[in-house]
Chains A and B, each alone.
Chain A
Amino acid sequence: MGPEGRDQFDDLLDGALKHYGDVEPRVGLEGRVLARLPSGRPTRVRWTAVLAGVCISALTVGVWWGLSPRKDIPRFGGAVTPQELGTTQPNPPTAIEPGLRPAEHKAIPIKAGRRGEPKLPQFPSMRVLSRQELAMASYVERFPKEAALIAQEQRSFEDEIRETEKAAGLDRPTHDSER
């Protein structure tokens, strides 16, 4: 085709392109689109509800955690109260001379019994050894002869004190009987 053909193709292309874009959606497109679109309000409410639930749960757990007693955590350096031991002392402690006050009462690591283990009715309840007691046991194990000598000296010293007190007319119980 010559120039006449080129003109014909121009017209043809124009018409074809016009038909190419001349399309209409099927009836009810808007309704179908809107029906399948999620509305914004319910989504926000759903997220708000989830957020509120999480916050309430976290708050509840926090309050419960904060108010619950920590029996499982051992404390060091603090005195042990009868309430913490779960027992009551039948006799209140009497006044002890400063020189005879046992040092181990200042720091007794408290370790409650394992969970599920029933409390023993005996008093004093079972407890782990203090640092001083552990050190003493270690010393006795490593130097049994020296430990025996020291114990013998201690006993003789206490006997002397007891005899002295008897001679002076002071019949008071010994330190061991206090315990």
Chain B
Amino acid sequence: MTERALTQNALLMTSTNEDALAAAVREHSRLVYRIAYSVSRNHHDAEDATQETFMRVLRYRRKLEGIDDLKTWMARIAWRVAVEQAKKRPAASLGERQVADAISQLRVGGKTAEELASTREMATMLESLIAALPESLRDAIRLSTVDELLPSEIAQMLETSEASVRSRLFRARQILKDKLSALEVQHGTRR
């Protein structure tokens, strides 16, 4: 643990130092928000989860003594909060019309993969495909989209090994690609 992290933990543990709490919010709120958003895909829910995460940090500050990595600890809390929230809300499913629109975008000539990837239709379809993945693969690929998280940190959050995370990511990508391909073929042959 770095000296800076130790100092931050000690200040947070006292809980009377509001500057330490404010510093923790400033430093980690973006990460917490992005983790929450990767699950909820909704700004309002992600902000609620961010709030709840820091409430829990304040509540469990006594446990900071045994925490080596404050960032990963907060990320894990944020992940759990977001997953709990998501369980209370039904996942939005993608309609047939949206799939057709997304696929038609893929077939439009002259667009690069990057341009296609940035379309709203593609984003919606990807959300739906990721939501349909098995839980272990879904969790890994969602967390991998958060830039601030390293595979080793994702492994800590999911309480598994780094090799397992890499394996899950590989399998998730394979499934997503296969599904994209299948959709393209299916909708392409219909037209």
Contacts and interface: CB of A to CB of B under 8 A. Distances in A.
Interface of A: 1, 5-6, 8-21, 23-26, 29-30, 32-34, 36-41, 44
B190 to A, nearest CB: 16
Interface string B83-109: 000000000000000000000001000
Contacts of B22: 30, 34
Contacts of B25: 30, 33-34, 37
Contacts of A20: 38, 123, 126-127, 130, 145
Contacts of A38: 58
A28 to B, nearest CB: 10
Most buried by B among A6, A12, A16, A17: A16
A30 B26 contact: yes
Interface in B26-60: 26, 29-30, 33-34, 37-38, 43, 46-47, 50-51, 54-55, 58
Contacts of A41: 15-16, 18
A26 B43 contact: yes
Nearest to B44: A26
B135 interface: no
Contacts of A25: 29-30, 33-34, 37, 43, 46-47, 50
Contact of A12 (B38, B54, B113): B113
B75 interface: no
Contacts of A34: 21-22, 25
A116 B181 CA distance: 95
Main secondary structure of the interface of B (DSSP, over half): helix
Contact residue range for chain B? Answer: 35 or more
B114 A30 contact: no
A16 B147 contact: no
Given A33-B54, A37-B54, 17 more contacts: A1-B185, A5-B184, A9-B181, A10-B177, A14-B113, A15-B113, A19-B117, A19-B123, A20-B38, A20-B130, A26-B47, A29-B30, A33-B50, A33-B51, A34-B22, A37-B55, A40-B15
Contacts of A32: 47, 51
B70 interface: no
B150 to A, nearest CB: 14
B33 A9 contact: no
B176 interface: yes
Contacts of A36: 51
B122 interface: yes
Interface string B137-166: 000010011110000000000000000000
Given A12-B117, A26-B43, A17 B34 contact: no
A176 B131 CA distance: 107
